[in-house]
């Protein structure tokens, strides 16, 4: 829950060096041909979710827009683009799950 999180600056002070996170990718045609179902990225702890999504798109060569991607962290849920990894308390070895937003159902 968001109320249980350590404040962003306090959490960031624990990680003065960049952290390594694992990003699991969806089995979506937009991420093919990605040789793996996950990426390992080394990033500063204050990296925003928006910047992380941009890195994911660059690494995978996907043509999706940033707005179509959602990033989820197990204890927090879906992360807002303006949030940093420290704000979500994602530390060394954190696992993030990427999904592709789908449009509403048929009418």
Q: What is the pLDDT of residues 23-44, one digit of tens each?
A: 999 887 777 666 678 899 999 9
d(CA 72, CA 100): 11
Q: Is the pLDDT of residue 58 over 60?
A: yes
Reported confidence tier of residue 21, pLDDT bands at 50, 70, 90? very high
- Predicted TM-score (pTM) of the model is 0.86
| Tens digits of residue pLDDT in 2-15 | 678 999 999 999 99
Average pLDDT (42-69) is 92
């Amino acid at each position: 829950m968001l109320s249980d999180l350590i404040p962003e600056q306090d959490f960031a002070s624990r990680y003065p060096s960049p952290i390594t996170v694992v990003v699991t990718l969806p089995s979506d045609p937009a991420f093919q041909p990605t040789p793996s179902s996950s990426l390992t990225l080394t990033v500063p702890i204050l990296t925003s979710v928006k910047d992380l999504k941009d890195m994911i798109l660059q690494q995978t060569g996907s043509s999706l827009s940033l707005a179509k991607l959602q990033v989820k962290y197990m204890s927090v849920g879906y992360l807002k683009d303006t949030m940093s990894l420290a704000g979500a308390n994602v530390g060394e070895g954190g696992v993030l799950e990427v999904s592709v937003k789908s449009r509403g159902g048929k009418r």
